[in-house]
Chains A and B, each alone.
Chain A
Amino acid sequence: MPDALPPRAPAPRALSGRAPSAPTGTRPALRLAIVWSLALAALVAVLLVDVRGPLELAMPRRATLVGGILVASFAHAVATVIFHTVTSNRILTPSIIGFDSMYTLMQTLTVFVFGGSAIAATDGLPKLLAQTALMVIAATALYTWLLDRSGGGVLTLLLVGVVIGLAFDSVSSFVQRILSPTDYDLLSLELFGRLSSVQPDHLPLALAVCGAVGAVVWMRRRRLDVVLLGRDGATALGVDHRRELIVALICVSVLVAFATALAGPMTFFGFLVATLAYRLAGSHKHAHVLPMAVGLGVLALAGAQLVMRHVFDAAGLVTVIIEVVGGIAFLALLLGRRRPK
C-alpha cells in the first residue's frame, strides 16, 4: 500500500523563474467571464428588446424562451463534451448513436398509431416524462448490453449506434410516407426544434434535471479529465474507465432526451459549441471546457434568436440556422483534419 513505499528523495527546490503553481489559472477564467458576459447580455436582450405592448404580457412568454435556450444549450453542450471525452473522439455527436432518431421514430409512431390529433391531446408533463423515461431506459439498456458484448470496445458501440440510428430513420421515413398529409404536417411541426413554443410548465422540471445531471458531471470533472487519456491511460491512473463511460452515456441520454423532447432535435448544435469551446476555453480541463461550451451555446441560441426575430422576422427558424452553421463547421473540421500534421 502507499504507506509502505520507501521515503522519497528530497524534493528539489522550485525551478528558477517558474512559480510552481499551475500556469493555467487566470486565462481560462477570464475567457469564461467574457463569453458568459456576452451570453448574459444576449439573454437580457432576448427578454427586453423591442417589447410591444405591456411588459407583463410579453414577459412570461419571453422568460419561457430564455428558459428553453438555457435548457437546450446546457443539455446539448454538456452532452456533447462528455460524449466526446468518453469516446475519445471529437468528431461524433450524441445524435450519431441514434438519440434523435429514437425521438423522431417515437413521434412518428405516435402520430401513425393514434392520429395527428393525439399529439395535441397528449401534450403535457406526463408525455414529456414518459418520452424521456423511455429514451433513458432504452439507451441505458442498449449501452450496458453493448459494452458487455463488445468487451468494452467504444468503436463497436458507436458503429452499432450508427446502424440502429439509420434503421430508426428508415422506419420513420417509411411510416411518414404512409401518413395522411394532415398528420404529416402536424408531425413535422413536432419534429423541428421549436424553441419559440417551449411549454412553460415543462421548464421547471427540465431545469431541475439539467441541474441534477450537471451536479453529477461536475463532481466527476477531474476524473473526466483523466478519461481524456483514453481507456488504458485512465486505467493506469486508477480511473474506472468503464464506469465513467456508462455514467457519462446515461447522463448524455438524459440530457439529449430532455432537450429533444422540449425543444426538438438539434444534430449539429452540440458539436458546434463543443468544438468552439475546445478552441476557446484555453484549457483541456472540464472545469473550464464545460462552462465555456454552455456559455457559447447560450450566446449562439440567444444571438440567433435576436437576429432572426428582430432582423429577419422569422423567429421559428432559429434552429435551422444553427444547424446550417453547425453543419458547415462540422464539414470544415472533418476536411481540415485531412491535412497532414
Chain B
Amino acid sequence: MIAIEQVSKRYAEHVVLGPVSSEVPAGGITALVGPNGAGKSTLLSVIGRLLDPSAGSVRVMGHDVQATKSADLARIVSILRQENRLEARLTVRELVAFGRFPWSGGRLTFGDQQHIDRAIRFLHLEDLADRQLDALSGGQRQRAFVAMVLAQDTEVVLLDEPLASLDPKHAVAMMRELRAAADDLGRTIVIVLHDLNMAAAFADRILALKEGQICVEGTVDEVMQDAVLERVFDTPVRVHRIDDRPFAVFTP
C-alpha cells in the first residue's frame, strides 16, 4: 500500500530522517508517534510528496510519488500539514470545496456538492458552513481543513497532528470519523499523533520514530509495552490496562 524504501532527508550535513524502510498495509489507521524532532512530519511530508527525500523512494498504491504526476496523485493521496495559513478570506464551505479540485478542476458538479456536504456533516460543521474561516476558533478551523481533506475522497489520507487544537469532545469525534472512514470506506489513514493514548485507542498500528529512525512498529498491543515506550521516549512509562485497553502513564 505505502512502501517506504530507504528514505532519508538531509538538510546540508544534518540528517533529520532515515534512512527508513517500512510498509504501511492497506486499510486501517497507522499512528506515527515519537518525541519532538523524531522526523514524523518529515516522513509524512515525503509520503505526501510535499517534500523531496534526499534519497530513497515512496510508492503509494504502486505509484512512485516523485515520478507520478502530482494531479493524478491528488486523487489517490491527500495530505494535511500542521500549519495552514490563509491570506484569502474563505468560508468553511469554500475551503472544503477546494478538496474537490483534483476531481473537478474547480468546476463543481452536483456530485462534488454532495461530497462537500457530506464532509461538512462528518465534522459537524453544518452550523459554521457559511462562516468566514478567520472568524472561527483554532479548533473549528482545524476541523474545516480536515473536512477539505475528506472531501478530496482519496484512498490514502495523511494527517499531521489534526488533533492539535481540539478539545476532547471534538478530538474523540474526529478520531471516530477517521475510524469510520477506515472501517466503512476502506481508507488507509496515516496520522501523526502526540497523544499516545489516542493512538492506542483508535489506531490499528503504531509506528514510533526516534532521532530519524524507526524505533519500533507493530500493532497497538505490541508497541504499548513499558520497555518499548521507554526506549522510544527516553522516559519512564507504565502501561496499564483499563477497560481492556492499554493506557500509558508517564510516571512523575
A residues at B contact (CB < 8 Å): 1-2, 4-6, 8-9, 11-12, 14-15, 18, 20-24, 84, 88-90, 222-223, 225-226, 228-230, 232-233, 235-240, 278, 284, 341
Given contacts A6-B185, A284-B88, contact A236 B78 (CB under 8 A): yes
Of the candidates B70, B85, B97, B118, which one forms a contact with A238 in the assembled complex, judged by CB atoms under 8 Å apart? B70
B103-111, B164-172, B213-221: which one contacts chain A?
A: B103-111
- Smallest Cβ distance from B49 to chain A, in angstroms? 7
Question: For residue B185, which residues in chain A have a CB less than 8 angstroms away from its CB?
Answer: 6, 8-9
Asked if residues A90 and B87 are in contact (CB atoms below 8 Å), the reply is yes
Query: Would you mind naming 22 contact pairs between A and B with Cβ atoms under 8 Å apart?
Result: A1-B75, A2-B75, A2-B76, A5-B75, A5-B76, A11-B114, A12-B114, A12-B118, A14-B113, A22-B97, A84-B87, A88-B87, A90-B87, A222-B101, A222-B106, A223-B106, A225-B106, A228-B86, A232-B45, A236-B81, A238-B72, A284-B94
The answer to whether A236 and B106 touch across the interface, beta carbons within 8 angstroms, is no
Identity of the chain A residue whose Cβ is nearest the Cβ of B78 in the assembled complex: A236
A228 touches B88 (CB 8 A): yes
A341 touching B134, Cβ below 8 Å: yes
A231 to B73, CA, bound (A): 16
Chain A: CB-nearest residue to B89 = A284
Known contacts A238-B71, A240-B70, then 10 further A-B pairs from the complex at CB < 8 Å, ordered by chain A residue: A1-B75, A5-B75, A6-B185, A11-B111, A229-B86, A230-B86, A236-B78, A238-B75, A238-B101, A278-B88
B93 on interface, CB distance cutoff 8 Å: yes
What residues of A have a CB within 8 angstroms of the CB of B113 in the complex?
Answer: 14, 20-22
A-B contacts, CB under 8 A, total: 111
B18 contacts A by Cβ under 8 Å: no
Q: Distance (Å) between the CB of B127 and the closest chain A CB?
A: 12
Q: Given the interface contacts A6-B185, A237-B101, does A278 sit within 8 Å of B89 by beta carbon? A: yes
Q: Which 4 A-B pairs have the closest CB atoms?
A: A238-B74, A222-B106, A20-B113, A238-B71
Least CB distance from B19 to A in Å reads: 21
Bin chain B's interface residue count: 35 or more
Compute how far the CA of A22 lies from the CA of B117 in the bound complex, rounded to whole angstroms.
11
CB of A273 to closest CB in B, whole Å: 17
Residue of A nearest to B75 (CB): A2
Question: Closest Cβ of chain A: how far from B1's Cβ, in Å?
Answer: 12
Bound-state Cα–Cα, A241 to B88, Å? 17
Query: Is there an interface contact between A239 and B90, defined as CB atoms closer than 8 Å?
Result: no
- Which residues of chain B are within 8 angstroms of A23 by Cβ–Cβ distance? 93, 130
Q: Is the CB of B80 within 8 A of A236?
A: yes
Quick one: given A236-B80, A284-B90, are A14 and B71 in contact (CB under 8 Å)? no
CB–CB B108/A22 < 8 A: yes
Residues on B with beta carbons closer than 8 Å to the beta carbon of A15 = 117, 121, 126
Q: A88-B85, A228-B87, A230-B85 are in contact. Are A235 and B117 (CB under 8 A)?
A: no
Cα of A52 to Cα of B13 in the assembled complex, Å? 75
Contact with A along B52-80 (1 / 0, CB 8 A): 00000000010100000111111110111
**Contacts known (A22-B108, A23-B93, A238-B70); A4 close to B117, Cβ less than 8 A:** no
Contact (Cβ within 8 A) A232 B117: no
Q: Return B134 CB to nearest CB of chain A, in Å.
A: 7
Residues of B within 8 A of A223 (CB): 106
A278 to B88, CA, bound (A): 8
A21 to B98, CA, bound (A): 15
Complex contacts, A9 vs chain B, CB 8 Å? 184-185
**B155 at the binding interface (Cβ < 8 Å):** yes
The answer to whether B84 has its CB under 8 Å from any CB of chain A is yes
Q: Is B102 an interface residue (CB 8 A)?
A: yes
Chain A residues near B108: list those with CB within 8 A: 22
Given contacts A228-B86, A284-B88, contact A239 B117 (CB under 8 A): no
B34 within 8 Å of A (CB atoms): no
CA distance A225 to B106 in the complex (A): 8
CA distance A70 to B85 in the complex (A): 34
Contacts A6-B186, A237-B74, A284-B88; A222 near B114 (Cβ below 8 A): no
B residues near A232, Cβ cutoff 8 Å: 45, 50, 79, 81
In the assembled complex, B212 has its CB within 8 A of some CB on chain A? no
Chain B residues positioned under 8 Å from A24 (CB to CB): 94
Known contacts A6-B186, A20-B113, A284-B89; A238/B102 CB under 8 A: yes
